[in-house]
Structure formats: C-alpha cells, structure tokens
Amino acid sequence: MKKVILPFILVLLIVLNSKAQTATYTNLDYAGNGNSKQMLDLYIPSSATTPSPLIIHIHGGAFLMGSKGSSEVPSFATFYNNGYVCADINYRLSTDSLWPAQIYDCKAAVRFLKANAALYHIDTNKIAVIGESAGGYLVSMLGTTAGVANLEGLHLGNSNVTSRVHAVVDLFGPINFLTMDAEAAVLGFTITTNSATSPESKLMGAAVQTIPERVASANPTTYISSDDAAFFISAGSADMNIPYTQGQNFYNALVPVIGASNAVFELAAGQGHGGSFWHTAAQDAKYLAFVNSKFALSGILKDGLNQNFNIYPNPSNDNFIIKLSDNQKYKLSIVDLAGKEITTLDEIYSGSNISVNNLPEGIYLIRLYNTNNQFISKFSKN
C-alpha cells in the first residue's frame, strides 16, 4: 500500500497549488503527549474568518511509514483553495504501536480540532476526511465508527467531543483484510496479506487469518449504520496492491443503509495503486464537488419560502421548541442536507417540544407544513 507520486508531477502539483504550501500552524499536539506521531499541521485560508468547512488528510504508507508534511499538500490543496480549513495529521505507525492505536489517534485529532473550532475557524458540522491507501482505510473507519466506545481512545483527550465526521473520500484503501488475498486471486493476481509479515498482519499483531475476530473488529463494514458519513470511494482497475473489489464491496454494503445518494464508487480504468492520477485537477474537482454537495443545503430550501417560525434553543443536543405566530396544526419533517427525510411528526403546534436525542450531530432542515402554509428553517444538532 505504498503511496507513489512521480517526483516531477509532485513538484508541478505543489507549484500549481502554492497557496496551500505554508501551514498556518505546524506540529499542533492533538494528544498532549509530545509525540511527533500525534501532531498535525493546519492550513487556514485567509478567507476563513468565520466558521469554515474542514478537511482532514490522513497519509498512506502501508501503516509502516509516511508522514504529514509538504509532500502531502497536493492531497488537499484544491480544498484549501476553495475555502476549506485543512489539517494534515500524523498517527502512530505499526512499527511501534499495534491496532487500534492508529484509529485512536485519528479520532483524537478530530476531537482536538472540534474542541478548538472557534480558534481555528472550523464549522464542526462540516467535517470531511480524505486519505490514500492506508489513509483511505483510516478515513473509512472514521466514517463508520462514530461513537464506537472501544475505538474512540478517549484517554487521548477532549472526551466531551465526538469524533463524528460527515464526508469521506477513500482513495484505494483496503477494507477487509481477511478477504484481500482471495479477492486478488479472483482478479488474476497474487498478494500476501495472509502472511505474518504483511503490513496488515503487522498492524494487527499476528497473521490476519489467525485472529479473525480481531480483524473483523477492524473492518469499517462491521459498523455501518444509517447515520454514517457520506462516502466517495475510488480505486484503480489495475491496482495490484489492493483489489479494487475491496472498495466496491464496501460501497455495496453502504448503499442499502445510508442510501445511494450518500455513496459513490468510482473504478478508474487502467489506474494502479498510487500515482499522479489521483490528484489531477479533474479528480480533485470530483472530490470537492462530492463533499460540497454533502455540505450544501438541500434544494427544498428555495427562495421565497416563508420561514416565519423560531426554533429554540438552536443549536441543541436534546430537544427544541417550536414557536409560531399562529395556533394552526402542522406536520413536521426533519431533513438532512442530502434531502433525506429523517423523521416526520404529526400534530405540531406552537410550543411543541421536539426531542432530538437520537439525531446525529449535524445541520438539518426543519419543515413545518399544512394545507395553508409551509415553513422551513435550519437547525443544528450538537
């Protein structure tokens, strides 16, 4: 799972995206341990004077190598140049720390950034992650494991903040270590994931087939639920390191649960594992468009709609009260930013108390309607 970028192309991309070359903050200690593997660099656009969307980049390197730094800038420069605050993180490698240290670190970084959102101009309701290869795996884990207690690593700080992210860009990451060799064989090539010396086995602490339950607990598919992040998954048809069916099978498992509008699988014809293709202008535009679409308000909020009602408190983490200027009866619908209806309630009046305890954090549209009126407003669950 080595990340390969041709030197000339890398230099060219950095030049073209020079706005993102210089980090605003370097070596922010997100775990408070003074460990260089638990630090991040933060790139804040000059335009980010109000809360702005955040994208977190997680590097590849077979869990054995790699680091944040200037060579990683092309992975997120397009987002930076479009107003995103960008974080580039380190995490502990398998050479000194076994699983689940790596996901502990990634989640700690998310919590640190959320906890310091005001300082860094971050909109905590618009957090995306992007990663290649091993980083693609880790962002996929972030996308499906919000609130999974044994993967949170709360001892690393900011335990009062969630590690939930809202959009994931997984570039040719592995998903199910137990089936990689068999999937490669079907596609006509051989890999050695089952070997005790493979990167995946070294990450897990033993040959993967000898510890199937432990490996299953490190599979993003295990944790899929309806409140997961939206996913853009891309893999190359000629990838001889990670079978492209890893991402494809993951996508097929996601769609019935989170919906086809919240998941994309792209098979890049003729592309291998790594290389300049994955961060060409055309590819980066796809990733940006996907994430933007998840962060944009749904089309149901149209110009000219009457929004003459109040929600308080807003934001809220447990309930809110509707305040209307009339005493009519309404129906209420809660809709996510992809336009998916989450909840509907009947017999709503001014003063109705609406519980949102089970609603994942994020931004929603609250729609009140009857035969005479339709009111729509925005609500934030925190």
Tens of pLDDT, residue by residue over 29-62, are: 999 999 999 999 999 999 888 889 999 999 999 9
Domain ranges for the chain, please list them. 7-295, 309-381
- Residue 380 pLDDT level (bands cut at 50, 70, 90): confident
CATH value of 309-381 in 3.40.50.970, 3.40.50.300, 3.40.50.1820, 2.60.40.3080? 2.60.40.3080
SS3 labels along 330-374: EEEEEECCCCCEEEEEEEECCCCEEECCCCCCEEEEEEEECCCCE
Q: Where are the alpha helices (DSSP H) in the chain?
A: 7-16, 77-80, 101-115, 117-120, 134-144, 180-187, 199-204, 212-216, 245-258, 281-295
pLDDT at 168 over 80: yes
Q: What is the pLDDT of residue 153?
A: 98
* 0.95 surpassed by pTM: no
Tokens matching residue 357: 């305890």
Least confident range from 196-200, 349-353, 377-381: namely: 377-381
pLDDT at 116 over 70: yes
User: In the chain, what percentage of residues exceed pLDDT 90?
Assistant: 72
The arithmetic mean of pLDDT across residues 311-327, rounded, is 90
- Residue 333 pLDDT level (bands cut at 50, 70, 90): confident
Q: What is the pLDDT of residue 170?
A: 98
Q: Answer yes or no: same fold for 7-295 and 309-381.
A: no
Tens of pLDDT, residue by residue over 288-302, are: 999 998 886 433 443
CATH value of 7-295 in 3.40.50.1820, 3.40.1190.20, 3.90.1330.10, 3.10.290.10? 3.40.50.1820
